[in-house]
Structure 1
Amino acid sequence: MSAEPVRWGILATGKIAHTFARDLMLVPGAALTAVGSRRLASAQAFAAEYDGDTGGPIAAHGSYAELVADPNVDVVYIATPHALHLDNVRLAFEAGKHVLCEKPLTISLADAEEMVALAREHRRFLMEAMWTACHPGVRALQRRLAAGEFGTPRHVHAELGFVVQASPEDRMLNPDLGAGALLDMGIYPLTFAHLLLGEARSMTAQADLREVDDAAFDLSVAMTGAYAGGALATMHASMTSWTSGAAAIATDAGRIDVPEFHHPTRITFTPQAQMADWTADAGPLEPIEIEPDEPVIGRGYGNEIAEVNRCLREGLLESPLVPHTQTLTLMRQMEEIRRQTGIRYPGE
């Protein structure tokens, strides 16, 4: 691609699309040129809200098909519920667009594999919008932990949950749209553990299920992963309780604390003083701040946008920060968790 701005289209106009658009305005070399909705009025309202910040007009389209057909769009951000991703992405690929698709990529491993195959068939860029993997703080932690600066990680704990109060038609509670804590929240602790420990050798889970007709989705899920070298991870996601939203990594040299781990503003390592024997109580040393390698753009969505821009300019079809193999590995883990716990969606 040329040095001209990468032209973005946003498919859907929900809450996360607004958050994404605000960060996109902060990314050098990125331009929001179009938005599409199933209702023209919604697309027009969305475009009007950001028109003054873009340096150019934002086209409002009353259908997804019109959006992906827009010649002034290079890459489409898919912001619809999980169950709709495959159809939306297929539409974009067939129109010749590159894609950044909200996480999780799809509801099932089979659909995710089909999406990746479609990307290869059409020779289009595809990346799951896992902003945590692109976050400068998480990347600095990942790099320095792998280099051995903080000792050998033995255990990762991460939890994400809040009380969902919504109508049964809401995507969080509607099985037709991919309801449940696992897909919406559980993907974050699973990804965090994967980034720091590598691919899990095994995964076990328990879930609190809600039955709806021929489907069952999880209100909360607890997961345990076993990783190379004997490292373990405990992970929790919930739609019925308020969790800390934090992560912690226990190493043989100390402890790393990551508040709001999926988009952290602070990461600290507290080293443990060497003890003469197991009865000694030397206590912790002063915490060390783990600084990001580069600035965080907005809330952090800006960094994944910048990564997509970089990949497109370099002619890459997938990102080394969120490669297809990683996305499919995590989809495979969630498929196994679903099998163990009985989570199932309509038609399965």
Structure 2
Amino acid sequence: MTTRWGILGPGRIARTFARDLRLVPGAELAAVGSRSEARAAAFARELGFASAYGSYEALLADGSVDAVYVASPHALHVEHVTTALEAGKHVLCEKPITLRASDAEELFALAVARGRLLMEAMWTATHPVVLAVRQSLRDGAFGTPRHLHAELGFVVDAPPEDRLNDVALGAGALLDVGIYPLTFAHLLLGEAEELTATAVLSESGVDLGIAIAGRYQGGAVATMHGSMSSWSSRRADIATDRGRLVLEDFHHPSHATFTPTAVGGTNDDVDRGASVRFEGAVPVIGRGYAHEALEFQRCLAEGLLESPLVPHAQTLTIMRQMDGLRAMVGVRYAGDG
């Protein structure tokens, strides 16, 4: 089955996604739409899209487009996803799907009513290495998880009007990068029972860095960090009662490593066994974004209205967590109640 893809909003993340999309079997690069015809044409030439449009409306009116990847700024997702669904398109929307959970609920309801697949582009949840780690933990291969730590951060060097700095467009470390550690913890530990956070805010009210602590099911705790003002290690560690599991770059993992610890060790006398490296059940394609497209296309082929790997309930759970954390640290967007 061929899926004819359209890109709405040819920005940085759309370019990265499109490069991986070219590697996906069954994906046809059909069209790109931008508010600038010149920008759309340049993007189409660079990445091999068949058509380019100088408006989103023209893209969505193209009958050759089956599915649309929405890559506009967060604050515009509700408008653009709604328009795409009403135009009869299936939609893969960049994360976070909306600024708040209530908006996401409305979009999912609309998608179901229209009989269209709507999936958040949370590619971490479709990544082969992350899936392998999750399954191995569920199978008890590494013991019982007791603590998870994950961090992701980079330095934003952009003008105030850039979407990464503009609170009106949904800027902030939590929604841009903190969502990844939160999702990673949710995938591996289950739903959080309690979350708390502290953050550093800019003068305009954008969270530049956020630290989150959580308690999870089964007696596990987690520490998570997202930053737009510092370069983090991008590492994730899961400590269990039998050893330590490490992903050196959990955002773009190539593998995971488990190092067992012998029973009876103490804080001062630890006997560690040989580390075991393992990868996903299938090779990582490109930068890893291809796997969300593969999952989306699989769901289309099977007639599913939501992905089992990125279900609506999971997206809404993380959105509600971020709603609570934003309120806790004092980050507000237009439209917040």
In the superposition, the TM-score normalised over structure 1's length comes to 0.94
Counterpart mapping for 1:68-83 below 5 A:
68-83=60-75
**Corresponding position of 1:272:** 261
> Does 1:338 find its partner at 2:330?
no
What is the aligned counterpart of 1:196 among 179, 188, 194?
Answer: 188
Residue 285 to residue 59, structure 1, CA distance change in 2 (3 Å): same
Contact 1:274 1:282 in 2 (8 A): no
Matched, 1:257 2:257: no
Aligned residue type for 1:318: E
Which residue is 1:329 aligned to? Answer: 317
Q: Which deviations, in whole Å up to 9, do the C-alpha atoms of 1:32-76 show, x marking residues without a partner?
A: 10000001111111111122xxxxx61101111111111111000
The whole-number CA distance in structure 2 between the counterparts of 1:151 and 1:119 is 40
Amino acid at match of 1:236: H
Give the aligned length: 336
Residue number in structure 2 paired with 1:84: 76
| TM-aligned CA deviation for residue 217 of structure 1 | 2.1
- CA distance in structure 2 between the aligned counterparts of 1:164 and 1:48, rounded to whole angstroms: 28
User: Out of 290, 296, 299, which is 1:302 matched to?
Assistant: 290
Per-residue deviation at 1:211? 3.3
Q: Distance in 2 between matches of 1:152 and 1:265?
A: 23
Matched, 1:110 2:98: no
Give how far 1:279 is off: 6.9
- CA distance in 2 between counterparts of 1:288 and 1:341 reads 40
Contact 1:217 1:345 in 2 (8 A): no
Alignment of 1:14-29 (within 5 A): 14-29=11-26
Does structure 1 residue 180 correspond to structure 2 residue 172?
Answer: yes
Residue of structure 2 in register with 1:158 after alignment? 150
Structure 2 unmatched ranges of 5 or more: none
Q: Over residues 185-209 of structure 1, what are the superposed CA-to-partner deviations in whole Å (9 max), with x where a residue is unaligned?
A: 0000000000000000111011111
The Cα shift of 1:239 comes to 1.0
C-alpha distance in 2 between matches for 1:286 and 1:81: 46
2:254 and 2:279 in contact (8 A); partners too: no
The secondary structure found in structure 1 opposite 2:63 is coil
Looking at structure 2, the residues matched to 14 and 155 of structure 1 have their Cα atoms a distance apart, in angstroms, of: 36
Note if 1:233 corresponds to 2:222: yes
| Identity rate, percent | 60
Tell me the alpha carbon deviations over residues 255-311 of structure 1, each in whole angstroms, 9 at most, x when there is no partner.
011111022112100011122x64772421111012211111111111111111100
Deviation, 1:338, is 0.8
Q: Aligned with 1:65: secondary structure?
A: helix
**Cα shift at 1:130:** 0.6
Partner amino acid, structure 2, of 1:230? G
Amino acid at match of 2:261: Q
5+ residue gaps, structure 1: 52-56
1:42 aligns with 2:30: no
Provide the residue aligned with 2:306 in structure 1.
318
Secondary structure of 1:211's match?
A: coil
Deviations 1:225-278 (A, max 9, x none): 111111001000111111101100000000011111022112100011122x64
8 Å Cα contact 1:34-1:59 kept in structure 2:
yes
CA distance in 2, matches of 1:247, 1:183: 19
Q: 1:100: how far off?
A: 0.3
Amino acid across the alignment from 1:266: H
Q: Mapping of 1:116-155 within 5 angstroms?
A: 116-155=108-147
User: Is the Cα contact below 8 Å between 1:74 and 1:97 reproduced in 2?
Assistant: yes
- Relative to structure 1, the CA distance from residue 279 to residue 224 in structure 2 (aligned partners, 3 Å threshold; closer, same or farther) is closer
For 1:263 and 1:242, how far apart are their aligned partners in 2? Answer: 15
The CA RMSD measured in Å over matched residues stands at 1.2
Residue number in structure 2 paired with 1:283: 271
